[in-house]
Structure 1
Amino acid sequence: MSPFLGRGWQFPLQFDPRTRQVGMVAGVDDIEESLRILLRTHPGERVMQPTYGCAVRRAVFETLNESTLTELKEMIRKAILFFEPRILLDRIDTTLLTLEGRVDFRLHYIVRTTNTRHNLVYPLYLDQATSPVATY
């Protein structure tokens, strides 16, 4: 494993009862954990890094249209550009799942040091679920 890819804590935090150590992830798994943390963190949540994060959660109550999706993809692109130097973002595809009240963002990226392609699906849950409710 390249030191550039890194090693970090596993989230959610887990401890190994045998070794009494925190669970760790390395390599591409660490990059995926880092991406999830970046996208879940709202700018301003980290006191020492107030610009860290991505404001996609503010769209939870927005009307979802092409303009909003484009804005969200741009937010994700900028957050990755500024805070995840280990990857090169190739593209972001979106899938709107109206019945589930969710938008899936599929991030296609290349790990810079190994030149390998990967993808990650990040779901954004919305307030607009229109799934039928069962009545009895």
Structure 2
Amino acid sequence: MKINTDFLGIGWSFPPEFNETEGKLSMTTDVEDINNSLIILLSTRPGERVMFPDYGCDLQEMLFKPLDLTLITQMKGIVERAILYHEPRINILSIEIDTQEELEGEVLIEIDYEVRNTNTRSNIVFPFYKGEATEI
């Protein structure tokens, strides 16, 4: 028996791309749409969207602070609040911050979640980079 997931919505693929054979914008559905929505949410700074000034996750504020337990706890709280207010289709099961690649300027944010209406579990790993845009 296939579960009807139309209520999860449909959205543009991220980054936006076109299907050349059909001449249409590529769309995503179900969990893929939720994952794209989470990536957009975590990548957007509050105030960046004119019509939705509260939308986003202010991780950039943490960029050059020393990575200690306090900062990790703050990051988890910021991510949790952003998802709570802006992604109503999921329940957060856990948020983990992986700092193993800290010296290379990368922190991984792993979000385990459950889709509310289907009880389907999924996760996403969002790479947050501290480094400058150089090729050194």
2-structure distance, mates of 1:26, 1:45: 25
Cα contact 1:4–1:86 (8 A) shared by 2 = no
1:111 aligned to 2:106?
Answer: no
The residue aligned with 2:57 is: 54
Task: Give the SS at the match of 1:114.
Answer: coil
Percent of aligned pairs sharing the same letter: 43
Task: Give the SS at the match of 2:63.
Answer: helix
List runs of 5+ in structure 2 lacking aligned partners.
none
Deviation at residue 39 of structure 1 after TM alignment: 0.3
When the two chains are superposed, the root-mean-square deviation of aligned CA atoms in Å is: 1.4
2-structure distance, mates of 1:98, 1:44: 28
Matches within 5 A, 1:83-122: 83-96=86-99, 97-122=101-126
TM-score by length of 1: 0.90
Match of 1:23 among 3, 23, 26: 26
Deviation at residue 127 of structure 1 after TM alignment: 3.5
Match of 1:75 among 52, 72, 78: 78
**Structure with larger RCO (C-alpha < 8 A, sep 6+):** 1
